[in-house]
Amino acid sequence: MAMLPNYDDRWQNTLHWQPQNSQQQSFQQLYEAILVANQQVNLTRITTPDDFWEKHLWDSLQGVQPWLSDLDIGAPALKVVDIGTGGGFPGLPVALVFPHWAIALMDATRKKIAALESVCATLGIANVGFLPQRAEQVAHQPVHREAYDLALLRAVGPVNTCAEYALPLLNLGGQAVLYRGQWTAEEEAGLVAILPRLGGQLLEVRSQVTPLTQGVRHTVVVTKIDRTPDKFPRLPGIPAKTPLV
Ligand code: SAH
C-alpha cells in the first residue's frame, strides 16, 4: 500500500502544528482503510497519497486550526457533528487529532455511514458516533437539537443551506465551520442576511491556500447567539432546493 507523505514543514508553515509520530501512523491507517472501503462503497475520488494528504488530511484540519493551537493546554472537550461527512471528512481526521472530542458522523447515505463504522471499528477509533440520517431529520430530534458545540460542513451545498442544517444543532455559543473554496462578497452578504432568522452571526472568514497545489480555501465561521425557531430546518429537501434568501 502506498505511503502518505510526511510533510511536517508544511503543517508547521501553514497551521503551526504537526502530527506526532503516532498520529502520522493513524493517518496512514486511515488512508489504507478508506481505500479498502472505497472498493465497496463510493467514499472518495481523492486517492493518491499527495491528494489524500492535501485535500483530506490537511484540508480537514485547517478548518479547526484555532483549536489546534489550544491542544496542549487542556482545552475543553467538544461535542462535534460532521454534517454530510461522506467518506469521513472532515470528521475522521479531526477525531484522530482531538481524541478527547466526541464526533458524530452524519450522512444521508446509509451505506457510507455503514462503511465508516467498519473503518472505525478496524482502526479502533472510539470517539465517533454514527448518524445515518438527513440533517433535516436529526435536527428536530430532542437529543440532537441544540446539543453540539461545533458543526463541520464541507461540500454539502450552498452556504445558506449549510447554515440551515447546522444552526438548529448548535447550542448557544456553539460554532459552525463551513468549509468553502472560493468565497464571494455576494455569498457573504447573502449569508449575513439570513443568519438572524436562524439565531446565527458571522464570526469570521479565514482564507488559506492549500500547501501542495495552491488551491483557494475559505473557512466561514458562524456562531449561534439566539435560539433557532422550531420551524428550522424545513422539511427534508427544502433547504437544498430553496435555500433561505
Ligand atoms: N464532507 C465530505 C463529503 C461531501 S459530499 C467531503 O467533503 O469529502 C456531500 C455528502 O453530504 C454526501 O455524502 C451526501 O450524502 C451528504 N448529504 C447531502 N445532503 C445531506 C443532508 N441534508 N443531510 C445529511 N447528509 C447530507
pLDDT, average across residues 103-128: 98
**H/E run at residue 13:** helix 8-15
Residue 53 pLDDT > 80: yes
Residue 72 pLDDT > 80: no
Q: How confident is the model at residue 75 (pLDDT cuts 50, 70, 90)?
A: confident
- In short, whether 134's Cβ falls inside 6 Å of ligand 1 is yes
Q: How confident is the model at residue 123 (pLDDT cuts 50, 70, 90)?
A: very high
Span of 66-75, 102-111, 120-129 with lowest mean pLDDT:
66-75
Residue 74 pLDDT > 80: no
Cell of 218: 475559505
C-beta atoms surrounding 35 within 10 Å: 15
Pairing mode of beta strands 216-224, 170-180: antiparallel
- Mean per-residue pLDDT over the chain, rounded: 97
Atom of ligand 1 nearest to the CA of 135: 23
Tens of pLDDT, residues 138-159:
999 999 999 999 999 999 999 9
Tens of pLDDT, residues 212-243:
999 999 999 999 999 999 999 999 999 999 99
112 Cα: distance to centroid of ligand 1 (angstroms): 10
pLDDT, average across residues 7-28: 96
75 Cα: distance to centroid of ligand 1 (angstroms): 29
Span of 39-48, 64-73, 161-170 with lowest mean pLDDT:
64-73
Domains plus CATH for the chain?
8-241 (3.40.50.150)
pLDDT value at residue 73: 74
How many Å apart are CA 156 and CA 244, to the nearest integer? Answer: 15
How many Å apart are CA 133 and CA 130, to the nearest integer? Answer: 9
